[in-house]
């Protein structure tokens, strides 16, 4: 039966110069995610739905890039590999070795937005709604890159679409391609929902911050579902995978944010 399943071959590089150096799909996924987000934010401005002109957008994207990298990198080692960071702090700057955490990236983005909104004197929640409406695009591309790398594979399963990730440590067993589940739920489905809410409803204008809260709750729910099929990255916390455990706090933050935001009365 094992021969009936597709054997995954990792493809981390688009162009490879040597064993460890080249143009990686993971880096391209981040680049494409930021380019896509910038394009959407520019469309928002032209449609009169955003106060961020070209100059402000350049400042924002620079701050977000730093926030995602620093927050994602710190989050990965603090939340998943603290012992590695303690024994080798320089691992933080060796980006080519991989290791990013979406929950840490969220915190990095939050601090980046706080800096930007204070500098530009614009409303934090308004900018937050703009960013969260584009964020699932980057999440989707990142998960696709995870799949190409053959990392973060799922638990053993015998579904017809199961795959064997033996070359990247998954053993000779069919496993759920959980990276693709996450690309679908955390990425494509959530992106479609956020774009629908932003363009087809007045929520961003009438209740700044509510869209951000909905994003956090929806992401936490999608992540919890995908974690059912994903092999845990590290030890469990209270019987939950770390991704599920940390998502509880993301959901709580989203619920609080939704409760704090109320639609403005129609004029």
Domain-located, residue 266: no
Domain-located, residue 212: yes
Domain-located, residue 42: yes
Token pair of 120 as six digits = 């530009």
Range of the domain at 22: 2-260
Per-residue pLDDT tens listing for the chain (267 residues) = 445 799 999 999 999 988 878 999 999 999 999 999 999 999 999 999 999 999 999 999 999 999 999 999 999 999 998 998 889 988 888 877 778 999 999 999 999 999 999 999 999 999 999 999 999 999 999 999 999 999 999 999 989 999 999 999 999 999 999 999 999 999 999 999 999 999 999 999 999 999 999 999 999 999 999 999 999 988 899 999 999 999 999 999 999 999 998 765 555
Phi, psi of 208 (to 5 degrees): -55, 130
pTM comes to: 0.92
Domain-located, residue 77: yes
Domain-located, residue 265: no
For residue 120, what are the CA distances in angstroms to 51, 114, 115? 10, 10, 9
Number of domains in the chain: 1
Domain-located, residue 267: no
Instruction: Give the dihedral sign, CA 221/224/226/229.
Output: negative
Domain-located, residue 252: yes
């Amino acid at each position: 039966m094992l021969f009936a399943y597709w054997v995954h071959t990792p493809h981390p590089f688009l162009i490879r110069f040597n064993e460890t150096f080249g143009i990686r799909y993971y880096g391209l996924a981040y680049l494409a995610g930021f380019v896509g987000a910038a394009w959407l934010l520019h469309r928002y401005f032209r449609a009169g739905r955003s106060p961020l002109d070209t100059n402000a957008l350049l400042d924002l994207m620079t701050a977000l890039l730093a926030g995602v990298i620093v927050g994602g990198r710190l989050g990965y080692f603090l939340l998943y590999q603290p012992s590695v960071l303690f024994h080798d702090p320089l691992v933080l700057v060796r980006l080519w070795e991989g290791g990013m955490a979406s929950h840490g990236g969220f915190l990095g983005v939050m601090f980046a937005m706080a800096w930007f909104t204070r500098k530009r004197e614009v409303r934090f929640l308004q900018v937050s709604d703009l960013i969260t409406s584009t964020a699932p695009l980057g999440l989707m591309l990142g998960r696709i890159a995870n799949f190409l790398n053959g990392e973060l594979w799922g638990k053993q399963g015998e579904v017809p679409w199961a795959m064997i990730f033996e070359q990247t440590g998954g053993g000779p067993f069919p496993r759920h391609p959980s990276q693709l589940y996450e690309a679908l739920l955390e990425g494509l489905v959530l992106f479609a929902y956020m774009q629908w809410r932003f363009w087809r409803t007045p929520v961003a204008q009438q209740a700044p911050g509510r869209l951000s809260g909905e994003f956090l709750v929806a992401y936490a729910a999608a992540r919890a579902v995908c974690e059912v099929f994903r092999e845990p990255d590290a030890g469990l916390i209270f019987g939950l995978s770390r991704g599920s455990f940390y998502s509880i706090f993301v959901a709580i933050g989203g619920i609080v944010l939704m409760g704090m935001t109320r639609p403005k009365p129609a004029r």
